[in-house]
Copies of this chain bind each other. A is one copy, B any other.
Amino acid sequence: MINKKCIIRLLRYKNALHRLNNLGFVKVFSDNLADAVGVTASQVRKDFSLFGICGHKRGGYKIEALLEKLNHILGKNEQQKVVIVGSGNIGSALMKYRGFEKEGMKIAACFDIDPAKYDRKEGDIPVLPLEGLRDFVREHNIKIGIIAVPDIAAQQVLDLMLAAGIKGVVNFAPIRLRAASGAVINNVNLVLELETVIYFIINGLEKSIAEIHEEQKS
- Which residues of A are at the interface with B, using a C-beta cutoff of 8 A? 4-5, 7-8, 11-12, 15-16, 19, 36-38, 74-75, 80, 82, 89-90, 92-94, 96-97, 99-100, 102-103, 105, 143-144, 146, 151, 167-170, 174-176, 178-179, 181-186, 188-203, 205-207, 209-218
Contact = CB atoms under 8 A, between A and B. Distances in A.
A214 B216 contact: yes
Contacts of A94: 89, 190
A209 B218 CA distance: 8
Contacts of A176: 12, 16, 36-38
A201 B143 contact: yes
A217 B212 contact: yes
Contacts of A16: 176
A130 to B, nearest CB: 20
